[in-house]
Structure 1
Amino acid sequence: MDTKQLNYYAEQDKILIATDCIIFGFDNQSIKLLVFKRRIAPFAGKWSLIGSFVKKDESVKNAAKRVLTDITGLENVFMKQLKVYGSVDRDPGDRCITVGQYALIRIEDQDIELVEKHGAVWYDLDKMPDLVLDHNQLVEDALVQLRLKASYQPIGFELLPEKFTIPSLQKLYESIYQKQFDNRNFRKKIIALDILTKLEEKDKTSSKKGAYLYKFNRKKYDKLADAGINFKL
């Protein structure tokens, strides 16, 4: 007998599984969130996180990767599972459980035409429109996890271009933590960590004198991480 043809769970309730992506980016001024107007009922035309139902032949993780690539054109980006959201009444369309995934991407690397094609828009977190279903809660939870993880791992560098200035790095972490850092203390602490490589190039977009550009040195960080480095700024 071919057991593959047996349906052992035929009498059980069927529940939809979805994944919703909380996609963060940084435009050198503030953290932004990528959202779009929902295309299906219920709440068609309302602002929503970007997600999808999980197909029978894919894992939840691969479903999230598919969503990210379909919308931004990017692959191999930083992505972590957040939480499972399974309230019985969370979606009036049907009984649906969603798995939240938060991702960090470099905005300058996105496929702009693809993003625009899907009607996706980057919003500052403090100007973000109200989102459908429980998506506002997903964003809040993702920010909590982002701030926690940023306190012991340099994940902020996933949001920066390959070359960046210290002021740009400071703006990023001020945006993540929603607080101001003293310029001198921030520079002193980040340089003391010895995980940046200073370049001879300068960014002169904001002044004639310009600011030196740096690169993140992951090899140095990995060695320090093994020794128990504390990345809290």
Structure 2
Amino acid sequence: MKHIGSPKLTVAVDCIVFGFDGFNLKLLLIKRALQPQQNKWSLMGGFVNESEGVDEAASRILQTLTGLTGVYLEQLHVFGGVDRDTTERTISVAYFALIDIERYKLQLSHEYAAEWFPVQSTPKLIFDHDQMVEAAKKKLQYKAALHPILFELLPSKFTIPQIQSMYDAIYNVSFDKRNFSRKLLSTGLLIKLNEKDKLGSKKGAFYYTLNKDKYQQNLYKILGLIIAPEHLQLL
């Protein structure tokens, strides 16, 4: 029997990095250093080495391009369209990361010209990266209602207006302020601090912190209280 050789494939990793600055949900992009589409906006990406797994590659690439370590990083989907890369057959494993921009502001690498863009106004991206971003947005909407990962985007203390700004951006809607605040506080998941943020108004807004133990015990309590079913785009 004639042996048929295995096709040559290259495996890459692309990271969709979401950040929150206290007001806006943003996406971290870089200028592509290689041809084709050199100097076009791109996700954080690179190739998987023979000596490492894809999870290791994702962490390494993110650290190399941004200087970030220990951030929330989750595998999203495999993108393997035949013509997705015009130079060679490349399969990409996409990941999404969540960070508090203020916490890591000083660590971002300037070597690769990394820049934050509001998720509603990102530039056109190379290859199928726009498709990756849309898939990551939908995944984030789903997980935001069922899991505490959104608090990875927030500082250790935050205000209710900040949380609402984050949810408004993720679901691309404007939730009613009074209802949002009332429903969020009714979950008992927040601990009120005796301290105010007075940057937004003279009256100021109280800071809160997350009761992590209680959140873990009530992962599904927030679903239906804050996010109406019509705003969920379940995958």
Provide the TM-score with structure 2 as the length reference: 0.90
* 3-state SS of paired residue (2:150): helix
Asked if 1:127 is matched to 2:115, the reply is no
Residue pairs, 1:66-215, within 5 angstroms: 66-112=60-106, 114-215=108-209
Paired residues of 2:67 and 2:107 also in contact (CA < 8 A): no
SS in 2 for 1:187: helix
- CA spacing shift, 1:158–1:114, aligned 2, 3 Å: closer
In structure 2, what is the equivalent of residue 46 of structure 1?
40
1:10 Cα offset (Å): 9.4
Unaligned stretches of 5+ in structure 1? 1-8
Cα distance between partner residues in 2 of 1:179 and 1:85: 29
Checking the alignment, whether the CA contact within 8 Å between 1:74 and 1:111 is kept in structure 2 is no
- How much does 1:215 deviate? 0.6
Matched, 1:63 2:63: no
Q: Distance in 2 between matches of 1:61 and 1:49?
A: 17
Structure 1's 203 and 128: CA in aligned 2 closer, same or farther, altered over 3 A?
same
The offset of 1:111, in angstroms, is 4.8
Find out whether 1:231 has 2:223 as its counterpart.
yes
SS of the residue corresponding to residue 109 of structure 2 reads helix
- Quote the Cα distance in structure 2 between the aligned partners of 1:207 and 1:132: 41
State the identity as a percent. Answer: 45
Using the alignment, how far apart are the partners of 1:21 and 1:47 within structure 2? 13
Q: Deviations over 1:32-86 (max 9, x none)?
A: 1001110011111111111110011111111111122223322221121111011
* Contact 1:156/1:173 (<8 A) preserved: no
Q: 1:152 to 1:190 in 2, by over 3 A?
A: same
Q: Across the two proteins, how many residue pairs are aligned to each other?
A: 223
Moved over 4 A (4+): none
